[in-house]
């Protein structure tokens, strides 16, 4: 049964905001990017060790608990439709992971569309991945939500193509798996999704600009090579339009004999794992369990 909290959040979104602001102009998207605060909040900087590092002109944070003896590493890739910066609910989830896993978490503030695209994002992420995997593949989990989930799976596929070692875990939260959103089953889900609609494709085009044919898996990892990747764990709600492609990923894995830890939660909205919901507590516990497994 759907929690009262979930029903309330959906109602508030419908009343206050409606669908995500996808129809805004490119200039407005850029203005919002430059005005948003990307820094970790005080509850993180006051309670954990935070290092700010740089790759070319881009920032990433390495955050770890004080006196941590854990050797586990997490690469966290935030969502935001490839155009919006990291937000407070992302930092809340990162804080939760820090406290529950005792892992060191790397948080890239990756370049965004429309000024940047897929090339710039992976030019930033590749050296970060190389640093983390060199510390032990069995120690590394990649976590991504929404657009970050798409990046996470694509990053793993890219590393396989390069002949690099895989992370132990690839944890996907409401992932955007096909940039074009062409699955016909999406149409029946639109009435349930309180946040998004098919105009999201516009952001996808901004991100995927100038993509080469043989690189399309980087923006639509659903169609990439899924064999030989790290263990995939996926969380999705039945009230989000990404459900259709998540189910397709599950079907592909099953047909290839790939084990996927697939978790589908009834009536949950997009990104629900990051929200203060009873259902999210259950999913978060499962995520921690996956990360801590030996």
How is the chain split into domains, by residue range? 4-292
Q: Which segments in the chain show pLDDT lower than 50?
A: 19
User: Tokens 């709600």 label which residue?
Assistant: 237
Looking at residue 163, its pLDDT comes to: 98
Looking at residue 68, its pLDDT comes to: 77
Q: What is 4-292's CATH topology?
A: Rossmann fold (3.40.50)
Q: Which long-range contacts (CB under 8 A, 24 or more apart) does 256-259 make?
A: 256/226, 256/227, 258/226, 258/227, 258/229, 258/232, 259/231
Q: 201 with 246: CB under 8 angstroms?
A: no
Looking at residue 294, its pLDDT comes to: 81
Looking at residue 79, its pLDDT comes to: 98
Looking at residue 27, its pLDDT comes to: 59
Looking at residue 216, its pLDDT comes to: 98
Estimate to the nearest angstrom the gap between the alpha carbon of 153 and the chain centroid.
9
């Amino acid at each position: 049964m759907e929690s009262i909290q979930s029903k309330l959040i959906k109602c508030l979104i419908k009343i206050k905001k409606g669908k995500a602001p996808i129809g805004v102009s490119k200039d407005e998207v850029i203005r919002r990017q430059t005005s948003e605060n990307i820094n970790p909040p005080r509850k993180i900087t006051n309670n954990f060790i935070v290092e700010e590092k740089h790759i070319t002109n881009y920032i990433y944070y390495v955050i770890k608990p004080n006196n941590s003896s854990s050797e586990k590493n997490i690469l966290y890739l935030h969502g935001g439709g490839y155009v919006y910066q990291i937000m407070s609910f992302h930092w809340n989830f990162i804080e939760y992971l820090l406290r529950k896993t005792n892992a060191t978490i790397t948080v890239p503030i990756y370049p965004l569309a429309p000024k940047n695209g897929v090339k710039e994002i992976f030019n930033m992420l590749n050296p970060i991945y190389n640093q983390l995997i060199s510390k032990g593949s069995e120690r590394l989990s990649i976590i991504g939500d929404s657009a970050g989930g798409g990046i996470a799976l694509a990053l793993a596929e890219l590393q396989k193509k390069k002949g690099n070692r895989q992370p132990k875990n690839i944890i996907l939260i409401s992932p955007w798996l096909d940039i074009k959103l062409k699955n016909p089953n999406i149409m029946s889900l639109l009435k349930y999704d309180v946040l998004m609609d098919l105009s999201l494709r516009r952001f996808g085009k901004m991100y995927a600009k100038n993509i080469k044919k043989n690189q399309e898996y980087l923006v639509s990892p659903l169609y990439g090579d899924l064999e030989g990747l790290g263990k995939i764990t996926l969380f999705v709600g039945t009230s989000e339009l990404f459900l259709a492609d998540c189910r397709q990923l599950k079907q592909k894995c099953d047909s290839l004999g790939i084990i996927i830890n697939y978790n589908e939660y009834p009536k949950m909205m997009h990104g629900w794992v990051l929200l203060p919901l009873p259902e999210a507590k259950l999913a978060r516990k499962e995520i921690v369990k996956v990360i801590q497994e030996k």
